[in-house]
Amino acid sequence: MEEKRKIPDEVRKRVEELRKEIEYHNYRYYVLNDPVISDYEYDQLVKELIELERKYPELITPDSPTQRVGAEWVGEFPKVEHKIPMLSLDNTYSYDEIREFDNRVRRELGISNVEYVVEPKIDGVAVKLVYEDGRLKVGATRGNGVVGEDITNNIKTIRTVPLRLLREDIREIEVRGEVYMPKEAFKQLNKEREEQGLTLFANPRNAAAGTLKLLDPKEVARRKLDICIHTLGYAEPSIGDNHYEVLQRLSELGFKVVPYFKLCKNVDEVIAYCDEWADKRDEQPFEMDGMVIKVNTFAYQRRLGATSKAPRWAIAYKFPAQLARTKLKKIILQVGRTGVVTPVAVLEPVFIYGTTVTRATLHNADEIKRKDIREGDWVFVTKGGEIIPEVVKPIPELRTGEEKVFEMPKNCPVCGSPLIRYPGEVAYRCENIRCPAQVKGRIVHFASRNAMDIRGLGERTVNLFVDNGLLEDFGDIYYLRYEDIVRFEGFGDKSARNLLENIEQSKKRELFRLIFGIGISNVGLYTAKLLARHFHSIDALMGAKFDDLTSIEGIGPVVAQSIINYFKNPENLKVLDKLRRAGVRMEEEIKEVAEQPLKGLTFVFTGALKDFSREEAKEIVEKLGGRVSSSVSRKTDYVVVGENPGSKYQKAISLGIKIINEEEFKKMIGRE
């Protein structure tokens, strides 16, 4: 074997010196915005380091400033367990609620006045960073709060993340923060994507989340993410006994901490500071959706503790929904797959919460009348839950007299058949089962992810195929031929073959997907699973009587009647027959009763489980024949209690429901 080459001590020393120096100048430049050397001098340092590392590659360490953009991941990111769960925050929406929070805190602590730190709530992705002996070891996402994903390589590309701390005496430290995409970078990214014909990100938060999940750090590095550290997980040795002091210490260690944090002596100062920020948020280079209010003293934080979801020593104050003013050009009608007709406002494009909005829902005709919204009106628009834009109200003062009062038409805008409104319902419906809008909607639903999951058969393709007479219902999907598809623009040999292959694959999907996909009114995914588990085949379901159906726990009379009606309709039977003839699987094996030890039992989970995410636990219970509910009632059989259980725990006690811990749960499911 070749003898290991000796590296001169001066080289080792110089490499170390260079790294420290470069890290410091990074901090001055990226975090403080206050460089103390010229770009040229900085580049010389980096060049020298690169040169030495090239000569002595043995000296390269993952925390060297030359290694910010590392190798690509293959497959999934590794999982990391959080030493301390990463919690979320409870929200408040008014100053009264902030006062209530303060009252509760003071009452529980038994003191008359409490100091708070108030800081911007940055709309990004929660991450934690762990340093050992001053070097970055792990950067991870929050995941389900207990287990996250190790995305160290991507986090390292963010220039404001120190790879080494500026102080060397901290043995171990974990900090939490928010990775975000600055507004400018977001606009730029979407502009590029638009030019390349890629789908646009809805807002900077989604863009940041999507970017952090990329497997190639080179692409991440291009996207200009940034970070703000806002919470200390733990530090050994301690770096302070209150939040305010710790934020200052973290800054000295080289972190970019959340800006504009302020120490407030009492709740009045807290509210005044929140108020000051309501108008200033738009000027910030990052999206913020509120302020976070934290009890300053750590000893008090510890005494207050946490629920399973959020600490009880902090709260978020969410700013009132942002309203944007724009002109409502006209009202159009959308016909869904069930025939329900929804009015939609077409707007002059307006920028709100990081996106350009051109459409907004008006819910239904009654809402339009109640709010007196007219075509041509100036209106206020917001995003409900910041996702779906909604017209809040018109601005009547700006009317010119040209505006048109909206009248619901008598006929379906797509097929012309009369619209019907049943007593007690707000919705107008088109009852023509052959209405092209409904036909398309039903096919899209059938092919959608939770149903038969036929990739490549989305809305655009379905529209194309229906408009060209290839599809009349979802049964026709299985009779599409290569030569039918390949002639359309946008399809080549490969995409046509892929689509046919995906269609073929879908024939073997689980029964519940089929039951969900065929679109029985009132039968969602959950009910479809119940039905599949109970009947094991479409034929058995088809033959079920009303009483058979209602005797199933979880199926009420409305759902039962919908199912009966569906199978009475000869049109539906014809489509089912097409599926059968094409070889779509319409039954599944009957599981042995022995495999269903939780049959008929209802579980509720509270607190964090060590070995399962909530989703996993739910899946297991359902597989074994049980049911998971989100709230405790007299019908609950077991409440499974994890770490930091919430109010469901108390409720279970007060109702006398059987409470078990994770170990006992594992025994029940045979996973000791």
Cβ-based nearer residue to ligand IVH, 119 or 150: 119
Q: How many CB atoms lie within 10 A of CB 492?
A: 9
C-beta of residue 230 within 8 angstroms of C-beta of residue 176: yes
> Does the annotation mark 121 as catalytic?
yes
In the 3-class helix/strand/coil scheme, how is 229-257 assigned residue by residue? Answer: EEEEEEEECCCCCEHHHHHHHHHHCCCCE
Q: For 281, phi and psi rounded to 5 degrees? A: -65, -30
d(CA 529, CA 542): 15
3-state secondary structure of 334: strand
d(CA 605, CA 545): 34
SS3 assignment, position 263? strand
d(CA 318, CA 293): 11
Closest contact distance (angstroms) between CB of 271 and ligand IVH is: 17
Q: From the CB of 178, what's the least distance to ligand IVH, in Å?
A: 5
Helix (H, G, I), strand (E, B) or coil at 287: coil
Closest separation in Å from C-beta 251 to ligand IVH: 14
Contacts of 83 (CB under 8 A, 6+ apart): 174, 233, 234
User: Which residues make Cβ contacts (< 8 Å) with residue 155, sequence separation at least 6?
Assistant: 127, 129, 136, 139, 161, 179, 212, 227
Nearer to ligand IVH, 91 or 322 (CB): 91
Given the complex with ligand IVH, which of 306 and 365 has the nearer CB atom?
306
Tokens of 340: 């329900």
Question: At its nearest, how many Å lie between ligand IVH and the CB of residue 126?
Answer: 3
Closer CB to ligand IVH, 208 or 470, in the complex = 208
Least Å distance, CB 127 to ligand IVH, is: 8
Name the site residues for ligand IVH (rule: CB under 6 A). Answer: 87-89, 119, 121-122, 126, 178, 230-231, 258, 292, 311, 314, 316
Residues 6+ apart with CB under 8 A from 76: 149
> Please, where are the H alpha helices in 56-200?
95-109, 152-155, 183-195
Comparing CB distances to ligand IVH, the nearer of 83 and 658 is: 83
In angstroms, rounded to a whole number, what is the distance separating the alpha carbons of residues 102 and 330?
A: 47
C-beta of 215 vs 316, nearer to ligand IVH = 316
Residue for token pair 């190639």:
216
Measured between alpha carbons, how far is residue 672 from residues 18, 662, 668 in Å?
A: 53, 10, 9
Would you state the structure tokens that stand for residue 593, as one six-digit string?
């009763």
114 or 576: whose CB is closer to ligand IVH? 114
Task: Provide φ and ψ at 288, rounded to 5°.
Answer: -130, 145
- CB of residue 292 vs ligand IVH: minimum separation in angstroms? 4
Minimal CB distance residue for ligand IVH: 126
- Kindly list the distances between the CA atom of residue 655 and the CA atoms of 9, 48, 308, in Å, as whole numbers in the listed order: 71, 70, 20
Which residues on adjacent β-strands are paired with residue 291?
120, 317
Beta bridge partners of 334: 342
As measured in angstroms, the least distance from the Cβ of 90 to ligand IVH is 9
What's the chain's Rg over C-alpha atoms?
A: 30
The least distance separating ligand IVH from the CB of residue 155, rounded to whole angstroms, comes to 14
Q: Which is nearer to ligand IVH, 80 or 520 (CB)?
A: 80
Q: Determine the residue type at 564.
A: I
Cα separation, 440 vs 466, in Å, equals: 7
Helix then strand count (H, E) for the chain reads 24, 24
Nearer to ligand IVH, 126 or 360 (CB): 126
Smallest gap from residue 276 Cβ to ligand IVH (A): 16
Q: Strands 324-335, 378-384: parallel, antiparallel or unpaired by DSSP?
A: antiparallel
- One of 121, 128, 156, 529 is an active-site residue; which one? 121
Residues with a catalytic annotation lie at 121
